[in-house]
Structures are given as structure tokens and as C-alpha cells.
Amino acid sequence: MRKIDLPELDRAAFTEKYGPWAVIAGASDGTGACYAQQLAAMGINLVLVSRRQAALDALGEQLASEHGIEFRTLVADLTEPGAGGRLVEATANLDVGLYISNAGADGAGNSFFASPVDRSLRLLTMNAANVLEASHGFGNRFLARGKGGIVVMSSGAGLGGQPWLVMYSATKAFELNFVESLWAELDGQNVDVIGVAAPIMDTPTLRKATEGLGMDYSMAYDPADVCALALASLGKEPLVLVPDGPDEAKIPQIQAERKTRLLALAEWGKAYTAAADA
């Protein structure tokens, strides 16, 4: 399994800024469960969201037993319109400081034209409309409380078009651009956002999707490492791009160039806004 050099994380400072409650959409296993485990180890209470009640209950009870946290579970289908807003409403009585958008997997090999259009529309709802709704709702709550953070799990597939993964690639590109734009707009307001262009990770979802294909899982990353990198980078970077795929040698340069462009556009935007307000 491929490894990542992880930066140090100030757990006390992280908990103070992003606690006492975190909401994780797509929490039942894999990457979402890794986020839950790492946040629970810091003493952050959890709202665990997925379509599988039994899996959420088992994870929540395990983490409560191990770390003494509180937890709630919410069963939700994020491919349904309005689900993002309902997450915000369902947690209105909690002091949420962190929202993690982790839903949105899709299997490879899907022809856009051969698949029902409803399938594409549901993926668009999950990776665009509901990410937008939840980020808008939680983001405004964080601005009102003066601190907070949003983590959006995108994909390296969003860095460019990918045939036979058309809607996944397109909607993950939306997430990356959405996060970068918010990162610049939120500058100086003590609310952080980061997008993760996730690499291939050894998760139950990957194992299920590639069963019988003879895949070499040693080429995949440990999802716990990717989650730890994302949490350590929150508040410091707009995007986390983990080297992966046929152009992985160029990934550090791509990340640096995207940030340079974003910072230049942010300065242009500030000047434009100031002139418009004058």
C-alpha cells in the first residue's frame, strides 16, 4: 500500500476550532469511517450520515465505547433532491463546527449514453446540488459562530475529463472549483474549506467494484492516511492533490499552479469588488 508523509496536527487547536460536533456524510465505512475514527480520537462528537442504519449504529457505538464521545445517526440518501438542506435542519440544535462531504462514489465503466439519464441526474444531485446546499447551510452557521470548517472529498477524476466515468468526473470537477472559489471568498473570516482530489484508496467500495478483476491493491493508498492529510491541511490549503494516475509526477506542480492562479484571481476580485462598492 502506498504511503503519505503526514504533517503534524495540533489536535487541541483543531478540536477548539472545529468541535464540539462534526457531521460526516457518507460515514458508514471506508473513508467516512476513517474520518469518524480520527475525529472521535480527538474527542469530537459525531453525526454519522449514510443510507445504512445498522452500519452507522455499529460505528457510533464502537467509537463511543472507545473514546467516550456522543454520536447521532441520520439515514439519508444524498442522491435525492433537498437532502443537503435536510442535514443542516436535522442538526440545528447541535453546535456543529465541521462538515465533511464524503458521499459520491461511482463505479467505472459506465457509458453516459447507455445509462439511463436518471442515473446521471442522481449523481449530479449528490455531488453538486446537495454539496452546495449543505455547504451553504453549514457555512452560514460557521460564519455566525465565528469559526468552523468544511471538507469536500472530491477525486483525482475531477482534474480532467475521464471517459466511461463521465458524470463522476464532471461532478467531481464541480466540487474542486466550488471549494477553491469558497476558499478565496472566506479569506480572513476564520471559516475554512478544503477539497480533496482523492486518489485510488483501498476501501470496501473499491474492493467490491474490482472484485475478480485481479487488481493490484498495493498501488492504492490507505484511506486513513488521506483523511489525516486532509484534516492536517484544513485551514492551510484550498486543495489536497495526492499523486496518482498516469500524470502523478505532475501533481505537485498542478496543485501549485492552481493555487497561484486562485490567489491572483482573489486579488483581482478584491480590487473589482472595492471599485464596485466605491
Amino acid identity, residue 213? L
3 state SS of 211: coil
For the question of residue 217 being annotated catalytic, the response is no
pLDDT at 277: 64
pLDDT at 275: 59
Residue 264 neighbours by CB distance under 10 Å: 10
CATH number of 11-249: 3.40.50.720
Predicted confidence pLDDT, tens digits, the chain (278 residues): 898 999 999 999 999 999 999 999 999 889 999 999 999 999 999 999 999 999 999 999 999 999 999 999 999 999 999 999 999 999 999 999 999 999 877 766 789 999 999 999 999 999 999 999 999 999 999 999 999 999 999 999 999 999 999 999 999 999 999 999 999 999 999 999 999 999 999 887 777 777 777 788 888 999 999 999 999 999 999 999 999 989 899 999 999 999 999 999 999 888 777 655 65
Could you tell me the three cell numbers for 277?
462598492
Which one is catalytic: 35, 172, 221, 236? 172
Residue 214 neighbours by CB distance under 10 Å: 5
For the question of residue 172 being annotated catalytic, the response is yes
pLDDT at 206: 75
Which one is catalytic: 35, 99, 168, 221? 168
Give CA separation, 186 vs 91, 100, 149, 150, 180, in Å: 23, 17, 11, 11, 10
Could you tell me the three cell numbers for 1?
500500500
H-only helix segments in 43-165:
53-67, 83-90, 117-124, 130-145
Q: Whole-prediction pTM value?
A: 0.95
CB-based contacts of 265: which residues, under 8 Å, 6+ apart?
Answer: 184
- Rounded CA Rg of the chain: 18
pLDDT at 1: 87
